[in-house]
Chains A and B, each alone.
Chain A
Amino acid sequence: MNIVEVSTGDIFPIEVLPVDQSDYTSLSKARYFFDWKAERSEEVYKLVLKGQRDILGLVSVERIPTEFRIHIRLLTVSKENKGSGKTYDDIAGNLIAHVVKIAVTDYGPLACVSLRPKSSVAQHYIQKYNMKVSGITLSVEVPEIIDLINQYDHD
């Protein structure tokens, strides 16, 4: 899995790893937009450049096995990777792809990943990740969920 440095177009390999408890001391609201310390007891993953420690993005998830679903609670990129002057692209996509891989591993053909973005940005997620709309919830399931994995899962 890779991200792209926007200014050069260079590709860098990344890793998505579980967040260590010691990571939370550096997860400031100023850089990561939300109170990530409140997610300490949740299942949280971090995206880093391979072999490096600096956290470029985070995702917190909730597994709902009875529904064969993983719900994305919180998702963010770091401040310097937001907006038109971002350093790297594809951080959020890789985090979503990581969650999607967990869902397919556990739930196979019944896998579903959901999230509830604000209406102002929902269309972006519908178009970029081929998500379906159910009320105010967006979700990705088979077959689009497989395409999403293939889109991001390459070296």
Chain B
Amino acid sequence: MTNKHNKINVDPEYGVDSRYTSSKERVDDAVALMQARLERMKNLSKEEILRAKLMQLKLKMENYLRGEAGEQQIHFAYFLATYVDALYTKRSEFAMDINVTPVFLSQVINRHREPKEEFILKLMLHSEKAFKGISDFQKKVWYQVYFHEKLCDTMASQDKWGPEIEKQVKLSESILG
């Protein structure tokens, strides 16, 4: 006589319970896993590390646009610096690749001046090439990040600009009917 309750569930994706049942188990697992990981990390190529850094940047930009940046003070210049530093040992090399001066690039990264539209266009095209073969990266994200920052800054400072602007704005009675 068969008992259906004895039937082993062999569907591997119905669920996994991999909770640690003791501190010892947790520690032993951590030690063994870290030793194995360290060995594997030794064999990582520069390209594989770069892929991971660019993927991390992409995910952070997507989180920022969804409003999930957390407590960090994140802005366009932060992502720009992260992008450049992931790819280049010297920022001046990036400046040369997109035909801008190192001084201009430094001023944008340090938020001393606004990036011009041409700069963002160059950045978009540069990242399209850099992300090719790594991930599905939408180059328009740079524009979205730039304007998202502007929007957030504007709304955050409404207390400052609101009162003065409000004096200049009215809704005509004729519109209200």
Contacts and interface: CB of A to CB of B under 8 A. Distances in A.
Contacts of A109: 44, 48-49, 52-53, 56
Contact of A75 (B16, B34, B63): B16
A141 B39 CA distance: 12
A89 to B, nearest CB: 9
Contact of B33 (A118, A139, A153): A139
Contacts, number: 127
Interface in A99-127: 101, 104-105, 108-112, 114-118, 120-121, 124-125
A16 interface: no
B11 A83 contact: yes
A135 B33 contact: yes
Given A105-B60, A108-B53, A109-B52, A83 B136 contact: no
A117 B16 contact: yes
B44 A142 contact: yes
A114 B32 CA distance: 12
A142 B49 contact: yes
The A interface, classified by DSSP as helix, strand, loop or mixed, is mixed
B52 A108 contact: yes
Contacts of A142: 44, 48-49, 51-52
Interface in B31-86: 32-37, 40-41, 44, 48-49, 51-53, 55-56, 59-60, 63
B13 interface: yes
A63 interface: no
A92 interface: yes
Interface residues of B, number: 37
Contacts of B15: 33-34, 74-77
Contacts of A154: 136
Contacts of B44: 109, 142-143
Nearest to B51: A146
Contacts of B14: 33, 76-77, 82-83
20 contacts: A67-B34, A71-B20, A72-B18, A73-B17, A74-B18, A82-B11, A104-B55, A109-B44, A109-B48, A109-B49, A109-B53, A111-B56, A114-B18, A116-B29, A120-B8, A135-B36, A141-B41, A149-B55, A149-B59, A149-B135
Interface of B: 8-20, 29-30, 32-37, 40-41, 44, 48-49, 51-53, 55-56, 59-60, 63, 134-136
